[in-house]
Amino acid sequence: SNFHWLHFAFGLSRKLTKNPAFLGETKQYAIRALLNIAKYPDGLTLPKNIAREEELPRHFLSKILKELVSNRILESNMGPGEV
């Protein structure tokens, strides 16, 4: 259910904030990006928005998102005007 997912996400977010060494930087960024995407009901957002909202390096985040797509954790669609 959504409650269990939100409870898990909140707990994980707190753990990452209190102990950043809990996970490596790449995994932290991946989880933060996934949690950010989960905030949107339709799951649609742009990498530049995630980078801005989560204060993550955009180029590094793009590489992480590509990896999540290639592992079928995320789906990617190009929007109007994107290359």
Does pTM surpass 0.85?
no
Q: Name the residue with higher pLDDT: 23 or 83.
A: 23
Tens digits of residue pLDDT in 25-41:
888 899 899 989 988 88
Task: Using DSSP, state whether 15 is helix, strand or coil.
Answer: helix
Q: Give 20's DSSP letter.
A: G
Nearest C-alpha neighbor of 26 from the set 60, 59, 2, 66: 60
